[in-house]
Amino acid sequence: MKYRSPRGTQDLLPEDAPRWRYVEATFRKTCADFGYGEIRTPMFESTDLFVRAVGEHTDIVSKEMYSVTAGGGETEEREAFTLRPEGTAPALRAYVQHNLAAKEPLTRLFYVAPNFRHERPQSGRLRQHHQTGIEALGSDDPALDAEVIALGLTYLHRVGIRGEQLQVNSVGCPQCRGAYRDALRAALKEHLASLCGNCNRRYEANPLRILDCKLEDWDRLTPLVPDILDWLCEGCATHFATLRSTLDALGIPYVRNPRLVRGLDYYVRTSFEIVHPGLGAQSTVLGGGRYDGLVEELGGSPTPGIGFGCGIERVLLACEALGVTFPIGPLRPVFVVTLGESARLPGLALLHELRQAGIAAQVDYLGRSMKSQMRAANRANARAVLILGENEIQAGVVGLKDMATGEQRQVARSEVAAFLASER
Ligand SMILES: [Zn+2]
Ligand SMILES: [Zn+2]
């Protein structure tokens, strides 16, 4: 075979599509129920946007982006574009560009879109994966954090996932995080030799990210590192306490995970993940947090915000691993079987008439025998077969075989569509 899909990408075949549609429809319905409106942004943006929003020194920006330069010539400057590696930056760029804050001080957005990252194929991650996400902009009320979390949980429950665990944490704010960072460095200083190479690099630039490292022995390290809760300023401490009491009031169980952190300065306060213990190493299904400095970073006025992202592939894998089945009924078309050349055009006319009436209908295009056409009807999972030959045409009727009961009868040609519509 000469051409294959690029490494780290997948084709979605017709047999897979109903599961995807079900998950996406469940997400859209849940967002609508919570008052979130859909936003669709371009598949690519200025490279600068992601450098600014995601951070120059992150893995995403330094080695995973698909970037091109385009344009040029006499009058035009070449421009650098990047396929979207994540969903928050494009949504916030649009929020600022269209001044959505002026229309509605609390703006709630959702999206369903592919993300592109040049991941190492052996990591099991895809280079094009599909993300559902939401962003709520304009309020720093911890009750909004609880709403964002509740939306994520409601979505996963509606899909059919059970037994998940909500983990929450606070990552403080620029006022209180500096002191915590120093305390963390001091505590880890003697243990640097035992930490991985990445963590040694993170130690100076961004020691909070060390807490995130999956390679370290946290049974040993956890008692040694300070807890950020002891370092939160009053505003951050109150915010986190209110989030917890709101989740309690909503009856949403959670555990606090003190190692749940985010790497960049505009991520503040709430950080959360929904994980499933039944999923092994890749147990995170959905993750998000508050980013009160990001809109300003992208050129808007200071605007608090919070959101989450959730991979569709990850949700489907979780459902598969957990044995979740979707209430997707197979499409049951009717199948038009024609006998002989003289029945061909009347058969096609009948097919077209049924489709115009909104009835799923199929026909054979391979010139096959009646027996083969019947087999094709079976493969198509037909609920009924309509048989049309010279005799039926002369009599103004159609033979109708119910595929469930095997029962066969004749229906007047003029009444077939109405009859089948009433049978659905
Ligand atoms: Zn703080
Ligand atoms: Zn490490």
Mean predicted confidence (pLDDT) in 206-226: 89
Question: How large is the average pLDDT for residues 180-197?
Answer: 92
Tokens representing residue 184 in the block:
């963390």
Strand ranges across the sheet with 305-311: 37-38, 107-116, 128-137, 305-311, 284-290, 268-275, 165-170, 255-256
Separation of CA 199 and ligand 2 centre (Å): 4
Token readout for 145 is 């954090």
Q: How far is the CA of 177 from the centre of ligand 1 (A)?
A: 7
Residue 379 has pLDDT above 80, yes or no: yes
Q: How far is CA 349 from its chain centroid?
A: 42
Nearest to 80 by CA among 48, 51, 116: 48
Task: Kindly list the structural domains of the chain, giving each domain's residue range(s) and its CATH number in brackets, ordered by start.
Answer: 17-173+233-321 (3.30.930.10), 334-423 (3.40.50.800)
Task: List, for residues 143-176, the tens digit of each pLDDT value.
Answer: 999 999 999 999 999 999 999 999 999 999 999 9
Q: How many angstroms separate the Cα of 177 from the Cα of each of 49, 193, 232, 320?
A: 25, 25, 7, 40
268 is written with which tokens?
A: 């503040």
Q: How far apart are CA 348 and CA 266, in angstroms?
A: 62
Q: Which ligand is nearest to the CA of 229?
A: 1
Mean pLDDT of 409-415: 95
pLDDT at 424: 62
- pLDDT tens per residue across span 230-286: 999 999 999 999 999 999 999 999 999 999 987 677 889 999 999 998 887 778 999
Residue with the bigger pLDDT between 358 and 58: it is 358
CA 200 to ligand 2 centroid distance, Å: 7
Do residues 177 and 171 touch, judged by C-beta distance below 8 A? Answer: yes
Q: How far is the CA of 192 from the centre of ligand 2 (A)?
A: 10
Give this prediction's pTM. Answer: 0.91
Closest listed ligand to the CA of 268: 1
Distance 387 CA to ligand 1 centre (A): 75
Q: What gap in Å lies between CA 163 and CA 160, rounded to an integer?
A: 10
Going from the Cα of 275 to the center of ligand 2, the distance in angstroms, rounded, reads: 21
Residues within 5 Å of ion ligand 2, judged at the Cβ atom: 196, 199, 213, 215-216
